[in-house]
Structure 1
């Protein structure tokens, strides 16, 4: 029998629960837990670890519970401080310790604002109204702190997105369900929006850390880099929707040779055919049958490269790069131009196509420095 995965609640729901607990405390209550309605209608019952008076209001501590979701904030304390304001002041948010501040345009909150997403803001407003027994805008100042946030932010995309000083308070509804593939893919998309807002017209898609490090090493701007993980096709679609002009695929041949074969979800349990693709193109370029068998029997793409190199067929790599670009453009029905650079683990440039040279040249890259690696 398949185990049913247990859900939890988001950092946004923790902050909303903290606001409710603090407001109830200010009205004489001592809540051990609060009940709030998530934005999808789910009822959440959230324990309150502690609530106490401050010099100008109250502060509640809620411990994040992620259920079976591998969330990096599971078990951290979310502190929410509430200060009541004069009538008509409205609801105001402040970033406390460990909460980031937005420094780049393109995200769902403006530059200079605390990194508290619209979903959590709405949930906090709703929780405050429930605690106050009103449907009007609450007149309060809410300061959210997650002391562990500064350290945890290094494990997120926040540094890439321009969120500085900590993590973001996120969550679409308040309910945290075990991470779905769709949720992870969608978490990658804001990179594109931030790059577009910064005026970038040619994006550099890096499927992994190898491509990211080497892209920076040869002078490609960090602001143009977009981590795609295994979801290259999905990210190409999102770029095309946003009318991006050009995309440079920049990474290890082990990932990008799959794109040459038309595989746009590159997880090794979903798609492979790396060696088969390399063997087919090498055979078409003249690799003898014995060499083809060696490529097919290789343990890794790096091992297969040794066979192709020994046969003097390095031109195969540029052909594979061109095919990866061609298949990518076909994937998005020609809505953007794609160039491809194929690399080794050591950083040697194996091959690229003309569009890649144009994109890289536009950024004044020093690709020759990698070629000598």
Structure 2
């Protein structure tokens, strides 16, 4: 079931639509069928971005005072775990004249502060909530209905899908979030991942975690747990977006940061490269080469470093000639300089650099005190 969204020819990727758009369209279709006593197989929805969607309505169940129907999520060319799932709306008549909105099966519940919803509320974000209520209220107005309605959003597959998302770490349990600020999924965008990282940092701060622990990925998480004996649930995996994570730490007023990472990632910070993805920059060999030269390493070793492919190979070369400790001190000092410059002088920064092959390579003094 595809939406009638035009393809962005510049990107050559097809856009999709959010869970928020699905929920709003399903609610609109359900209330129409409830108030007009008829089946509706297609529904139109104008997204906040101004794009009109024409969506097929699936799995319709009608009774006297309740209608349940679904819209199938289409993520376009974005690799999204929610692609193809059914987002249901259940709308029933109730006494009074209020319209209420809640989440049912597969829609997460908030258990930690720091999110836009209060603890105990369904994880339906602000814009999707506005979209859903607007569509329901507009149908009621057009139908001349001024009675009460109960609207419940359900995503039966959401319970399992949530396990593949950041939600459990954010304190959202039992399902996924109803998301979307524009109603449209922009394919292959990095913004969703960066937003998730930022949100997780904000949740950690809101829940009184005094030290922000950052690590790029699974290697760092394993080192935290197995070598430093730090609970990995306290850490935020920031992927390649170390700069954005540090900026968010400043934004939410963290005063202590611990950055733990594999040398293959963190060495790039020594040159001020804050997005460590290989397509942004590499410079690992150049950084090792420059710091080795400053350490007085002989020419033959420098030439060997220039030919090395991996950071582990560079480390082995330096270890063999007895210069590893000195070079790593220089690299750590440059990493600390650039990270400290990014966050400012009011934040204490601790850094741990390791290799899965060689173990701990360098760390700032007192780095894990009080953790």
* 1:227-242 pair list within 5 angstroms: 227-242=237-252
Equivalent residues of 2:97, 2:149 under 8 A apart:
no
Q: Distance in 1 between matches of 2:111 and 2:147?
A: 27
Cα distance in 2 between the residues matched to 1:69 and 1:209: 23
Residue 42 to residue 138, structure 1, CA distance change in 2 (3 Å)? farther
Which residue does the alignment assign to 2:299? 289
Displacement of 1:274: 0.8
Residues 22-171 of structure 1 mapped to structure 2, 5 A cutoff: 22-27=30-35, 28-54=37-63, 57-96=66-105, 98-133=106-141, 139-171=148-180
Distance in 2 between residues matched to 1:103 and 1:52, nearest whole Å = 32
Within 2, Cα distance between the matches of 1:92 and 1:183? 25
- Closer/same/farther in 2, CA of residues 180 and 335 from structure 1, 3 Å limit: farther
Contact 1:10 1:171 in 2 (8 A): yes
Distance in structure 1 (CA, Å) of the matches to 2:304 and 2:64: 74
Which residue of 2 is the match for residue 278 of structure 1?
288
Q: 2:271 matched to which residue of 1?
A: 261
Q: Helix, strand or coil: the match of 1:119?
A: helix
Q: Which residue is equivalent to 1:250?
A: 260
TM-score for both structures, normalised by structure 1: 0.90
Partners of 2:171 and 2:27 in 1: how far apart?
27
Residue 347 of structure 1 and its aligned partner are, at CA, apart by: 7.3
Which residue number corresponds to residue 214 of structure 2?
A: 205
Deviation, structure 1 residue 3: 5.6
Write out the 4+ residue segments of structure 1 that deviate beyond 4 Å after TM superposition: 134-138
Q: Which residue does 1:352 correspond to in 2? A: 363
1-structure distance, mates of 2:13, 2:346:
40
Check whether the contact 1:322–1:340 (CA below 8 A) recurs between aligned residues. Answer: no
TM superposition shift of 1:138: 8.2
CA spacing shift, 1:95–1:318, aligned 2, 3 Å: farther
The answer for the alignment partner of 1:11 in structure 2 is 19
Query: Does structure 1 conserve the Cα–Cα contact (< 8 Å) formed by 2:332 and 2:363?
Result: yes
Deviation at 1:223, TM superposition (A): 4.3
CA contact (8 A) 2:44 2:52 kept: yes
Residues 83, 346 of structure 1: CA spacing in aligned structure 2 closer, same or farther, 3 A cutoff? farther
Return the TM-score normalized by structure 2.
Answer: 0.90
In structure 1, list runs of 5 or more residues that go unmatched: 364-373
Cα-to-partner distance string for 1:218-256 (whole Å, 9 max, x where unaligned): 332334311211111111111111111121110100000
Contact 1:317 1:352 in 2 (8 A): no
Superposed CA offset, 1:58-116 (max 9, x none): 100211111122221111111221222222434231331x2221111111111111111
Matched, 1:219 2:229: yes
Q: CA deviation at 1:283?
A: 2.4
Please say if residues 225 and 232 of structure 2, whose CA atoms lie closer than 8 Å, have aligned partners that are also in contact: yes
